[in-house]
Protein backbone atom coordinates (compact mmCIF):
# COMPACT_ATOMS: atom_id res chain seq x y z
CA UNK A 1 0.00 0.00 0.00
CA UNK A 2 1.43 3.37 -1.03
CA UNK A 3 2.26 5.96 1.58
CA UNK A 4 -0.28 8.35 0.05
CA UNK A 5 -3.03 5.81 0.57
CA UNK A 6 -1.95 5.23 4.21
CA UNK A 7 -1.96 8.98 4.84
CA UNK A 8 -5.37 9.29 3.22
CA UNK A 9 -6.86 6.52 5.39
CA UNK A 10 -5.28 7.87 8.59
CA UNK A 11 -6.59 11.33 7.80
CA UNK A 12 -10.03 9.80 7.55
CA UNK A 13 -9.65 8.50 11.14
CA UNK A 14 -8.37 11.78 12.69
CA UNK A 15 -11.82 13.06 13.58
CA UNK A 16 -12.68 9.64 14.96
CA UNK A 17 -9.53 9.72 17.11
CA UNK A 18 -10.50 13.12 18.58
CA UNK A 19 -14.06 12.07 19.32
CA UNK A 20 -12.83 8.79 20.79
CA UNK A 21 -10.46 10.55 23.21
CA UNK A 22 -13.23 12.86 24.39
CA UNK A 23 -15.47 9.85 25.06
CA UNK A 24 -12.75 7.85 26.80
CA UNK A 25 -11.44 10.74 28.95
CA UNK A 26 -14.95 11.36 30.30
CA UNK A 27 -15.00 7.95 32.01
CA UNK A 28 -15.10 7.61 35.79
CA UNK A 29 -13.48 4.16 35.99
CA UNK A 30 -11.48 1.73 33.91
CA UNK A 31 -14.60 -0.44 33.55
CA UNK A 32 -16.59 2.45 32.10
CA UNK A 33 -13.64 3.34 29.87
CA UNK A 34 -13.50 -0.26 28.60
CA UNK A 35 -17.16 -0.13 27.55
CA UNK A 36 -16.61 3.15 25.73
CA UNK A 37 -13.48 1.71 24.12
CA UNK A 38 -15.41 -1.31 22.90
CA UNK A 39 -17.88 0.93 21.07
CA UNK A 40 -15.07 3.02 19.58
CA UNK A 41 -13.19 -0.05 18.30
CA UNK A 42 -16.35 -1.74 17.05
CA UNK A 43 -17.27 1.35 15.01
CA UNK A 44 -13.80 1.66 13.57
CA UNK A 45 -12.99 -2.01 12.80
CA UNK A 46 -16.46 -3.62 12.40
CA UNK A 47 -15.37 -6.56 14.51
CA UNK A 48 -17.59 -9.31 15.92
CA UNK A 49 -15.93 -9.42 19.30
CA UNK A 50 -13.49 -7.47 21.42
CA UNK A 51 -11.86 -8.75 24.60
CA UNK A 52 -10.21 -6.43 27.08
CA UNK A 53 -8.12 -7.56 30.06
CA UNK A 54 -6.26 -5.73 32.81
CA UNK A 55 -3.79 -6.60 35.56
CA UNK A 56 -2.14 -4.31 38.07
CA UNK A 57 1.19 -6.16 38.07
CA UNK A 58 2.96 -8.38 35.57
CA UNK A 59 2.89 -11.57 37.65
CA UNK A 60 -0.80 -11.32 38.58
CA UNK A 61 -3.68 -12.96 36.72
CA UNK A 62 -5.70 -11.06 34.15
CA UNK A 63 -8.94 -9.39 35.20
CA UNK A 64 -11.53 -9.51 32.42
CA UNK A 65 -12.99 -6.11 31.58
CA UNK A 66 -14.90 -7.23 28.46
CA UNK A 67 -16.03 -10.84 28.13
CA UNK A 68 -15.99 -11.64 24.40
CA UNK A 69 -14.49 -15.06 23.64
CA UNK A 70 -12.29 -14.41 26.67
CA UNK A 71 -10.82 -17.93 26.97
CA UNK A 72 -9.75 -18.10 23.34
CA UNK A 73 -8.47 -14.54 23.40
CA UNK A 74 -6.51 -15.16 26.61
CA UNK A 75 -4.66 -17.96 24.83
CA UNK A 76 -3.64 -15.45 22.15
CA UNK A 77 -2.34 -13.00 24.80
CA UNK A 78 -0.37 -15.77 26.49
CA UNK A 79 1.65 -16.10 23.27
CA UNK A 80 3.13 -12.64 23.86
CA UNK A 81 6.56 -13.38 25.30
CA UNK A 82 7.98 -9.91 25.95
CA UNK A 83 6.82 -6.55 27.25
CA UNK A 84 7.63 -4.65 24.09
CA UNK A 85 4.58 -2.95 22.70
CA UNK A 86 3.72 -4.54 19.36
CA UNK A 87 0.63 -5.49 17.41
CA UNK A 88 0.42 -9.25 16.84
CA UNK A 89 -1.99 -11.13 14.62
CA UNK A 90 -3.34 -14.63 14.18
CA UNK A 91 -1.94 -16.85 11.42
CA UNK A 92 -4.62 -15.73 8.97
CA UNK A 93 -4.57 -12.08 10.22
CA UNK A 94 -8.28 -12.23 11.05
CA UNK A 95 -7.53 -11.35 14.70
CA UNK A 96 -5.06 -8.86 16.09
CA UNK A 97 -3.96 -8.39 19.71
CA UNK A 98 -1.42 -6.69 21.93
CA UNK A 99 -0.32 -6.14 25.53
CA UNK A 100 0.33 -2.53 26.42
CA UNK A 101 1.95 -1.10 29.52
CA UNK A 102 -0.07 1.80 30.96
CA UNK A 103 1.19 4.92 32.71
CA UNK A 104 0.82 3.37 36.22
CA UNK A 105 2.84 0.28 35.11
CA UNK A 106 -0.28 -1.86 35.00
CA UNK A 107 -0.96 -3.79 31.79
CA UNK A 108 -3.86 -3.93 29.40
CA UNK A 109 -4.42 -6.77 26.96
CA UNK A 110 -6.69 -6.18 23.93
CA UNK A 111 -7.87 -8.64 21.33
CA UNK A 112 -9.84 -7.62 18.20
CA UNK A 113 -11.93 -10.52 16.96
CA UNK A 114 -12.92 -11.31 13.36
CA UNK A 115 -14.54 -8.66 11.18
CA UNK A 116 -18.15 -8.88 10.05
CA UNK A 117 -16.99 -9.21 6.42
CA UNK A 118 -14.35 -11.83 7.26
CA UNK A 119 -11.51 -9.80 5.71
CA UNK A 120 -8.11 -9.89 7.37
CA UNK A 121 -6.66 -6.91 9.21
CA UNK A 122 -4.31 -4.79 7.12
CA UNK A 123 -1.18 -2.93 8.15
CA UNK A 124 -3.12 0.31 8.19
CA UNK A 125 -5.58 -1.36 10.59
CA UNK A 126 -2.70 -2.28 12.86
CA UNK A 127 -1.41 1.31 12.78
CA UNK A 128 -4.92 2.60 13.54
CA UNK A 129 -5.26 0.02 16.36
CA UNK A 130 -1.96 1.20 17.78
CA UNK A 131 -3.15 4.82 17.77
CA UNK A 132 -6.41 3.84 19.54
CA UNK A 133 -4.41 2.02 22.22
CA UNK A 134 -2.33 5.14 22.72
CA UNK A 135 -5.57 7.12 23.03
CA UNK A 136 -6.70 4.63 25.69
CA UNK A 137 -3.43 5.09 27.57
CA UNK A 138 -3.77 8.88 27.43
CA UNK A 139 -7.40 8.71 28.58
CA UNK A 140 -6.38 6.29 31.36
CA UNK A 141 -3.71 8.77 32.45
CA UNK A 142 -6.36 11.51 32.55
CA UNK A 143 -8.60 9.19 34.58
CA UNK A 144 -5.81 8.58 37.13
CA UNK A 145 -5.18 12.32 37.37
CA UNK A 146 -8.89 12.93 37.92
CA UNK A 147 -9.04 10.24 40.59
CA UNK A 148 -5.98 11.67 42.31
CA UNK A 149 -7.52 15.13 42.14
CA UNK A 150 -10.79 13.86 43.63
CA UNK A 151 -8.89 11.95 46.29
CA UNK A 152 -6.83 15.05 47.09
CA UNK A 153 -9.94 17.22 47.28
CA UNK A 154 -11.63 14.65 49.50
CA UNK A 155 -8.52 14.45 51.67
CA UNK A 156 -8.28 18.23 51.94
CA UNK A 157 -11.97 18.54 52.78
CA UNK A 158 -11.55 15.79 55.35
CA UNK A 159 -8.51 17.55 56.85
CA UNK A 160 -10.41 20.85 57.02
CA UNK A 161 -13.32 19.04 58.68
CA UNK A 162 -10.90 17.39 61.12
CA UNK A 163 -9.29 20.75 61.85
CA UNK A 164 -12.64 22.37 62.62
CA UNK A 165 -13.58 19.39 64.79
CA UNK A 166 -10.24 19.61 66.57
CA UNK A 167 -10.80 23.32 67.27
CA UNK A 168 -14.32 22.62 68.55
CA UNK A 169 -12.95 19.79 70.70
CA UNK A 170 -10.36 22.11 72.24
CA UNK A 171 -13.04 24.69 73.05
CA UNK A 172 -15.33 22.09 74.64
CA UNK A 173 -12.50 20.46 76.60
CA UNK A 174 -11.46 23.83 78.01
CA UNK A 175 -14.94 24.26 79.52
CA UNK A 176 -14.95 20.95 81.41
CA UNK A 177 -13.38 20.52 84.83
CA UNK A 178 -11.03 17.63 85.48
CA UNK A 179 -12.85 14.31 85.79
CA UNK A 180 -14.17 11.34 83.85
CA UNK A 181 -16.35 13.64 81.68
CA UNK A 182 -13.23 15.31 80.31
CA UNK A 183 -11.61 11.99 79.40
CA UNK A 184 -14.83 10.61 77.90
CA UNK A 185 -15.35 13.67 75.67
CA UNK A 186 -11.73 13.65 74.51
CA UNK A 187 -11.84 9.91 73.79
CA UNK A 188 -15.11 10.09 71.83
CA UNK A 189 -13.79 12.99 69.73
CA UNK A 190 -10.51 11.18 69.06
CA UNK A 191 -12.43 8.10 67.87
CA UNK A 192 -14.63 10.21 65.57
CA UNK A 193 -11.70 12.14 64.08
CA UNK A 194 -9.57 9.08 63.35
CA UNK A 195 -12.42 6.70 62.34
CA UNK A 196 -11.40 4.30 65.10
CA UNK A 197 -13.90 1.62 66.11
CA UNK A 198 -13.43 2.00 69.85
CA UNK A 199 -10.94 3.14 72.48
CA UNK A 200 -9.96 3.67 76.10
CA UNK A 201 -8.78 6.59 78.23
CA UNK A 202 -6.78 5.61 81.31
CA UNK A 203 -5.64 7.58 84.35
CA UNK A 204 -3.10 6.13 86.81
CA UNK A 205 -2.36 8.12 89.96
CA UNK A 206 0.93 8.19 91.87
CA UNK A 207 -0.24 5.29 94.08
CA UNK A 208 -0.96 3.05 91.07
CA UNK A 209 -4.76 3.34 91.21
CA UNK A 210 -6.17 2.86 87.70
CA UNK A 211 -9.29 4.58 86.35
CA UNK A 212 -10.51 3.55 82.87
CA UNK A 213 -13.04 5.22 80.57
CA UNK A 214 -14.23 3.22 77.52
CA UNK A 215 -16.03 4.42 74.40
CA UNK A 216 -18.31 2.75 73.60
CA UNK A 217 -18.76 1.49 77.18
CA UNK A 218 -17.62 -1.98 78.29
CA UNK A 219 -15.32 -2.66 75.33
CA UNK A 220 -12.23 -4.84 75.87
CA UNK A 221 -9.39 -3.30 73.88
CA UNK A 222 -6.87 -5.91 75.02
CA UNK A 223 -8.28 -8.35 72.46
CA UNK A 224 -7.32 -6.04 69.60
CA UNK A 225 -3.85 -6.72 68.04
CA UNK A 226 -1.17 -4.11 68.72
CA UNK A 227 -0.78 -3.34 65.00
CA UNK A 228 -4.40 -2.13 64.99
CA UNK A 229 -3.87 0.25 67.92
CA UNK A 230 -2.72 3.83 68.32
CA UNK A 231 -1.88 5.33 71.71
CA UNK A 232 -0.65 8.61 73.21
CA UNK A 233 0.22 9.36 76.83
CA UNK A 234 1.42 12.21 79.04
CA UNK A 235 2.17 12.75 82.73
CA UNK A 236 0.90 15.64 84.83
CA UNK A 237 1.93 16.09 88.47
CA UNK A 238 2.74 12.40 88.84
CA UNK A 239 -0.55 11.24 87.26
CA UNK A 240 -0.22 9.34 83.97
CA UNK A 241 -2.86 9.69 81.26
CA UNK A 242 -3.12 7.42 78.20
CA UNK A 243 -5.47 7.42 75.19
CA UNK A 244 -5.63 4.20 73.15
CA UNK A 245 -7.59 3.84 69.87
CA UNK A 246 -8.34 0.55 68.12
CA UNK A 247 -9.22 -0.73 64.61
CA UNK A 248 -9.40 2.17 62.17
CA UNK A 249 -12.30 1.83 59.71
CA UNK A 250 -12.37 2.82 56.02
CA UNK A 251 -14.43 2.21 52.87
CA UNK A 252 -12.19 -0.75 52.13
CA UNK A 253 -12.47 -2.25 55.61
CA UNK A 254 -10.08 -2.05 58.55
CA UNK A 255 -6.77 -0.29 57.84
CA UNK A 256 -3.77 0.88 59.87
CA UNK A 257 -3.69 4.24 61.60
CA UNK A 258 -1.60 6.78 59.66
CA UNK A 259 0.60 9.75 60.56
CA UNK A 260 -2.36 12.13 60.47
CA UNK A 261 -4.21 9.99 63.01
CA UNK A 262 -1.18 10.11 65.27
CA UNK A 263 -1.03 13.90 64.94
CA UNK A 264 -4.74 14.22 65.72
CA UNK A 265 -4.54 11.99 68.80
CA UNK A 266 -1.44 13.86 69.96
CA UNK A 267 -3.25 17.20 69.53
CA UNK A 268 -6.24 15.99 71.56
CA UNK A 269 -3.94 14.64 74.29
CA UNK A 270 -2.24 18.06 74.46
CA UNK A 271 -5.66 19.74 74.66
CA UNK A 272 -6.59 17.50 77.59
CA UNK A 273 -3.31 18.31 79.30
CA UNK A 274 -3.91 22.02 78.73
CA UNK A 275 -7.45 21.68 80.12
CA UNK A 276 -6.09 19.96 83.24
CA UNK A 277 -3.42 22.64 83.67
CA UNK A 278 -5.99 25.42 83.15
CA UNK A 279 -8.33 23.84 85.70
CA UNK A 280 -5.51 23.63 88.20
CA UNK A 281 -4.45 27.21 87.45
CA UNK A 282 -8.03 28.42 87.96
CA UNK A 283 -8.23 26.62 91.28
CA UNK A 284 -4.89 28.08 92.32
CA UNK A 285 -6.06 31.54 91.25
CA UNK A 286 -9.21 31.16 93.35
CA UNK A 287 -7.16 29.91 96.28
CA UNK A 288 -4.73 32.80 95.86
CA UNK A 289 -7.62 35.25 95.70
CA UNK A 290 -9.12 33.70 98.83
CA UNK A 291 -5.74 33.82 100.54
CA UNK A 292 -5.30 37.43 99.45
CA UNK A 293 -8.66 38.38 100.96
CA UNK A 294 -7.77 36.46 104.13
CA UNK A 295 -4.45 38.27 104.36
CA UNK A 296 -6.18 41.62 103.90
CA UNK A 297 -8.60 40.79 106.73
CA UNK A 298 -5.73 39.43 108.84
CA UNK A 299 -3.72 42.58 108.21
CA UNK A 300 -6.69 44.68 109.29
CA UNK A 301 -7.08 42.62 112.46
CA UNK A 302 -3.37 42.94 113.17
CA UNK A 303 -3.46 46.66 112.54
CA UNK A 304 -6.04 47.06 115.29
CA UNK A 305 -4.08 44.90 117.76
CA UNK A 306 -0.47 46.06 117.36
CA UNK A 307 0.31 49.38 119.06
CA UNK A 308 0.70 52.54 117.02
CA UNK A 309 2.52 54.43 119.77
CA UNK A 310 4.00 53.07 122.98
CA UNK A 311 3.05 54.71 126.26
CA UNK A 312 5.34 57.32 127.84
CA UNK A 313 6.77 55.95 131.09
CA UNK A 314 8.23 58.53 133.45
CA UNK A 315 11.84 57.68 134.29
CA UNK A 316 12.12 55.17 131.44
CA UNK A 317 12.78 55.11 127.69
CA UNK A 318 11.04 52.40 125.64
CA UNK A 319 10.87 51.48 121.97
CA UNK A 320 9.46 48.57 120.02
CA UNK A 321 9.31 47.31 116.45
CA UNK A 322 7.52 44.67 114.35
CA UNK A 323 8.80 43.95 110.82
CA UNK A 324 6.74 41.21 109.11
CA UNK A 325 8.55 38.88 106.74
CA UNK A 326 5.37 38.77 104.60
CA UNK A 327 2.17 40.77 104.36
CA UNK A 328 0.94 39.70 107.77
CA UNK A 329 3.19 39.11 110.75
CA UNK A 330 3.00 35.97 112.84
CA UNK A 331 4.55 37.90 115.73
CA UNK A 332 2.67 39.94 118.31
CA UNK A 333 3.89 42.62 120.66
CA UNK A 334 2.28 45.22 122.85
CA UNK A 335 3.03 47.68 125.65
CA UNK A 336 0.14 49.09 127.66
CA UNK A 337 -0.61 50.51 131.06
CA UNK A 338 -2.74 48.56 133.56
CA UNK A 339 -5.34 50.27 135.75
CA UNK A 340 -3.00 50.09 138.76
CA UNK A 341 -0.25 52.00 136.95
CA UNK A 342 1.91 49.00 136.08
CA UNK A 343 3.13 48.53 132.50
CA UNK A 344 2.75 45.25 130.61
CA UNK A 345 5.40 44.42 127.95
CA UNK A 346 4.51 41.41 125.74
CA UNK A 347 6.19 39.66 122.79
CA UNK A 348 4.68 36.49 121.27
CA UNK A 349 5.29 34.37 118.18
CA UNK A 350 2.45 32.38 116.56
CA UNK A 351 3.22 29.40 114.31
CA UNK A 352 1.92 29.94 110.75
CA UNK A 353 0.67 33.03 108.97
CA UNK A 354 -2.54 34.44 107.57
CA UNK A 355 -6.06 34.37 108.96
CA UNK A 356 -5.68 31.44 111.44
CA UNK A 357 -2.63 33.07 113.04
CA UNK A 358 -4.33 36.47 113.18
CA UNK A 359 -7.41 35.01 114.85
CA UNK A 360 -5.20 33.24 117.37
CA UNK A 361 -3.36 36.50 118.08
CA UNK A 362 -6.72 38.25 118.47
CA UNK A 363 -7.78 35.58 120.99
CA UNK A 364 -4.47 36.00 122.84
CA UNK A 365 -4.79 39.79 122.99
CA UNK A 366 -8.40 39.79 124.23
CA UNK A 367 -7.79 37.09 126.86
CA UNK A 368 -4.57 38.70 128.04
CA UNK A 369 -6.18 42.08 128.73
CA UNK A 370 -9.08 40.44 130.59
CA UNK A 371 -6.85 38.44 132.92
CA UNK A 372 -4.47 41.34 133.56
CA UNK A 373 -7.36 43.55 134.61
CA UNK A 374 -8.24 41.01 137.33
CA UNK A 375 -4.72 41.27 138.79
CA UNK A 376 -4.31 37.49 139.11
CA UNK A 377 -0.73 36.18 139.41
CA UNK A 378 1.09 35.78 136.10
CA UNK A 379 1.75 32.07 136.70
CA UNK A 380 -1.98 31.43 137.21
CA UNK A 381 -2.85 33.61 134.22
CA UNK A 382 -0.42 31.61 132.04
CA UNK A 383 -2.19 28.34 132.92
CA UNK A 384 -5.55 29.82 131.95
CA UNK A 385 -4.13 31.37 128.76
CA UNK A 386 -2.63 28.03 127.74
CA UNK A 387 -6.01 26.31 128.12
CA UNK A 388 -7.74 28.95 126.00
CA UNK A 389 -5.15 28.81 123.21
CA UNK A 390 -5.18 25.00 123.25
CA UNK A 391 -8.95 24.92 122.73
CA UNK A 392 -8.86 27.70 120.11
CA UNK A 393 -6.19 26.21 117.86
CA UNK A 394 -5.40 23.12 115.82
CA UNK A 395 -2.66 20.64 116.73
CA UNK A 396 -0.08 22.42 114.57
CA UNK A 397 -0.71 25.86 116.07
CA UNK A 398 0.84 27.21 119.27
CA UNK A 399 2.20 30.50 120.64
CA UNK A 400 5.52 31.25 122.29
CA UNK A 401 4.90 34.05 124.77
CA UNK A 402 6.86 36.34 127.10
CA UNK A 403 5.32 38.95 129.39
CA UNK A 404 7.12 41.38 131.68
CA UNK A 405 4.98 43.52 134.05
CA UNK A 406 6.91 46.59 135.24
CA UNK A 407 6.24 48.67 138.34
CA UNK A 408 7.65 52.01 137.19
CA UNK A 409 7.85 53.36 140.71
CA UNK A 410 10.50 50.91 141.97
CA UNK A 411 11.65 49.08 138.80
CA UNK A 412 10.32 45.71 139.92
CA UNK A 413 9.42 43.33 137.09
CA UNK A 414 7.38 40.10 137.06
CA UNK A 415 8.21 37.83 134.11
CA UNK A 416 6.66 34.69 132.63
CA UNK A 417 8.25 32.98 129.63
CA UNK A 418 6.17 30.34 127.79
CA UNK A 419 8.57 28.71 125.38
CA UNK A 420 9.88 32.06 124.05
CA UNK A 421 13.42 33.34 123.56
CA UNK A 422 14.91 34.37 126.92
CA UNK A 423 14.78 38.09 127.70
CA UNK A 424 18.15 39.79 128.17
CA UNK A 425 18.99 42.10 131.11
CA UNK A 426 22.08 44.33 131.13
CA UNK A 427 23.24 45.39 134.60
CA UNK A 428 25.11 48.57 135.52
CA UNK A 429 28.35 46.60 135.79
CA UNK A 430 27.91 45.61 132.11
CA UNK A 431 27.06 42.03 133.01
CA UNK A 432 24.27 40.33 131.07
CA UNK A 433 21.59 38.12 132.61
CA UNK A 434 19.44 35.70 130.61
CA UNK A 435 15.86 35.37 131.94
CA UNK A 436 14.45 31.92 131.19
CA UNK A 437 11.48 31.79 133.58
CA UNK A 438 8.34 29.96 132.43
CA UNK A 439 7.14 26.74 130.77
CA UNK A 440 6.00 25.30 127.43
CA UNK A 441 4.46 27.35 124.62
CA UNK A 442 0.73 28.09 124.81
CA UNK A 443 -1.44 25.57 122.95
CA UNK A 444 1.00 22.64 122.92
CA UNK A 445 -0.45 20.73 125.90
CA UNK A 446 -3.42 21.14 128.20
CA UNK A 447 -2.28 19.15 131.21
CA UNK A 448 -2.40 21.90 133.81
CA UNK A 449 1.40 22.18 133.77
CA UNK A 450 2.66 25.03 136.01
CA UNK A 451 4.41 28.13 134.69
CA UNK A 452 7.14 29.43 136.96
CA UNK A 453 7.48 33.18 137.08
CA UNK A 454 10.49 35.25 138.01
CA UNK A 455 10.85 38.56 139.81
CA UNK A 456 13.69 40.97 139.28
CA UNK A 457 14.47 44.63 139.66
CA UNK A 458 15.62 47.05 136.99
CA UNK A 459 17.87 49.69 138.55
CA UNK A 460 18.74 53.03 137.03
CA UNK A 461 20.97 52.75 133.98
CA UNK A 462 19.99 49.09 133.40
CA UNK A 463 18.36 47.76 130.23
CA UNK A 464 15.86 45.02 129.28
CA UNK A 465 15.58 43.48 125.79
CA UNK A 466 12.69 41.23 124.67
CA UNK A 467 12.77 39.85 121.12
CA UNK A 468 11.48 37.14 118.78
CA UNK A 469 13.54 34.47 117.00
CA UNK A 470 13.43 36.45 113.75
CA UNK A 471 16.60 38.26 114.92
CA UNK A 472 18.98 35.41 115.90
CA UNK A 473 17.69 33.17 113.07
CA UNK A 474 18.01 35.77 110.28
CA UNK A 475 20.03 34.13 107.47
CA UNK A 476 22.25 35.33 104.64
CA UNK A 477 22.53 33.71 101.19
CA UNK A 478 24.87 31.03 102.61
CA UNK A 479 22.15 30.11 105.15
CA UNK A 480 24.31 31.35 108.03
CA UNK A 481 22.25 32.60 110.98
CA UNK A 482 22.81 35.84 112.84
CA UNK A 483 22.94 33.64 116.02
CA UNK A 484 22.15 34.23 119.69
CA UNK A 485 25.84 34.77 120.43
CA UNK A 486 26.11 37.69 118.02
CA UNK A 487 22.87 39.18 119.38
CA UNK A 488 24.07 38.95 122.99
CA UNK A 489 27.44 40.52 122.12
CA UNK A 490 25.69 43.38 120.31
CA UNK A 491 23.32 43.87 123.27
CA UNK A 492 26.23 44.21 125.70
CA UNK A 493 28.40 46.45 123.53
CA UNK A 494 25.77 48.74 121.96
CA UNK A 495 24.79 50.99 124.87
CA UNK A 496 22.92 53.74 123.04
CA UNK A 497 21.51 56.87 124.63
CA UNK A 498 17.94 56.05 123.62
CA UNK A 499 15.79 52.98 123.10
CA UNK A 500 14.95 54.04 119.52
CA UNK A 501 18.65 54.24 118.67
CA UNK A 502 19.22 50.68 119.90
CA UNK A 503 16.24 49.27 117.97
CA UNK A 504 17.42 50.95 114.77
CA UNK A 505 20.98 49.76 115.38
CA UNK A 506 20.05 46.09 115.90
CA UNK A 507 17.83 46.07 112.79
CA UNK A 508 20.66 47.61 110.75
CA UNK A 509 23.15 45.05 112.04
CA UNK A 510 20.81 42.17 111.13
CA UNK A 511 20.36 43.56 107.61
CA UNK A 512 24.12 43.90 107.20
CA UNK A 513 24.38 40.21 108.05
CA UNK A 514 21.65 39.09 105.64
CA UNK A 515 23.05 41.31 102.82
CA UNK A 516 19.75 41.85 101.06
CA UNK A 517 18.38 38.32 101.37
CA UNK A 518 14.63 37.99 101.75
CA UNK A 519 13.64 38.18 105.42
CA UNK A 520 13.02 34.60 106.56
CA UNK A 521 10.95 35.40 109.65
CA UNK A 522 9.23 38.28 111.43
CA UNK A 523 11.42 40.59 113.50
CA UNK A 524 9.87 41.85 116.73
CA UNK A 525 11.57 43.50 119.71
CA UNK A 526 11.04 45.73 122.77
CA UNK A 527 13.92 47.65 124.37
CA UNK A 528 13.55 49.31 127.81
CA UNK A 529 16.03 51.62 129.57
CA UNK A 530 15.64 52.88 133.11
CA UNK A 531 17.16 56.32 133.04
- How do the domains of the chain map onto residue ranges? 3-147, 176-280, 306-530
Residue 437's pLDDT band (boundaries 50, 70, 90)? Answer: confident
The values of phi and psi at residue 73, to 5°, are -70, -35
Which position has the higher pLDDT, 44 or 150? Answer: 44
Euclidean distance between CA atoms 164 and 166, whole angstroms: 5
Q: What is the pLDDT of residue 510?
A: 95
Same fold, 3-147 and 176-280: yes
Task: Output the CA torsion sign for 412, 506, 330, 390.
Answer: negative
Q: What is the pLDDT of residue 447?
A: 76
State percent of the chain over pLDDT 70.
86
| Per-residue pLDDT at 367 exceeds 90 | no
| Residue range 319-341, pLDDT digits in tens | 999 988 776 667 889 999 998 99
Quote the DSSP letter at residue 122.
Answer: -
Quote the DSSP letter at residue 469.
Answer: T
| Overall pTM > 0.85 | no
Contact in structure between 320 and 332 (CB atoms under 8 Å): no
Find out if CATH 3.30.450.40 is the number for domain 176-280: yes
| Residue range 107-137, pLDDT digits in tens | 988 999 888 888 999 888 888 888 888 888 8
Contact in structure between 275 and 174 (CB atoms under 8 Å): yes
Find out if CATH 3.30.450.270 is the number for domain 3-147: yes
Three-state SS string over 207-250 comes to CCCEEEEEECCCCCHHHCCHHHEEEEEEEECCEEEEEEEEEEEE
Q: What is the pLDDT of residue 364?
A: 84
- Vertex 136 angle, CA 132 and 142, to 5°: 140
Cα separations in angstroms, 83 against 98, 111, 297, 498: 10, 16, 94, 115
| Residue range 144-168, pLDDT digits in tens | 888 787 776 665 556 656 665 666 6
Beta strand pairing status for 331-337 and 316-323? unpaired
The values of phi and psi at residue 284, to 5°, are -65, -40
| Residue range 383-423, pLDDT digits in tens | 988 888 888 877 778 899 999 999 999 999 999 999 999 99
State the DSSP string of 372-434: HHTT--HHHHHHHHHHHHHHHS-TT--EEEEEEEEETTTTEEEEEEEBPPPEEEE-TTS-EEE
Torsion of CA 115, 120, 126, 129, to 10 degrees: 0
Which position has the higher pLDDT, 528 or 180? Answer: 528
Which position has the higher pLDDT, 300 or 526? Answer: 526
Euclidean distance between CA atoms 421 and 397, whole angstroms: 18
Q: Which of 73, 145, 131 is nearest to 103 (CA)?
A: 145
For the chain, what is the mean pLDDT? 84
Euclidean distance between CA atoms 354 and 329, whole angstroms: 8
Euclidean distance between CA atoms 448 and 435, whole angstroms: 23
Domain 306-530 architecture = 4-Layer Sandwich (3.60)
| Per-residue pLDDT at 94 exceeds 90 | no
The mean per-residue pLDDT over the stretch 471-497 comes to: 94
The mean per-residue pLDDT over the stretch 62-89 comes to: 76
| Per-residue pLDDT at 104 exceeds 70 | yes
| Per-residue pLDDT at 502 exceeds 60 | yes
State percent of the chain over pLDDT 90.
29
Amino acid sequence: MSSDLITQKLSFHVKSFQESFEILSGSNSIFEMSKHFERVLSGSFFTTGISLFHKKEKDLSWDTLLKKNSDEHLRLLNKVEDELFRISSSSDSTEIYTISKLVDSSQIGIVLGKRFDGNPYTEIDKITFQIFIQLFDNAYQALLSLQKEKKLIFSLNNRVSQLYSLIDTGIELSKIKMGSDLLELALSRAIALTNASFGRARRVNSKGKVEDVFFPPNIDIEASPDENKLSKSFTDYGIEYEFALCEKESRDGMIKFDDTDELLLGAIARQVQAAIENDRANKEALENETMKRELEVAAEIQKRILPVDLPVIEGYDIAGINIPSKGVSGDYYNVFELDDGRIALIVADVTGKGMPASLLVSTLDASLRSYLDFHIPLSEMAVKMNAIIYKSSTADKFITFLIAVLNPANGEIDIINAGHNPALLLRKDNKMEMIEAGGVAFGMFDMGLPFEGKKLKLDKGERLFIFSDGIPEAMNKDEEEYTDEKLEKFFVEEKTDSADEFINAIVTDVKLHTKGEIQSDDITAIYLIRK
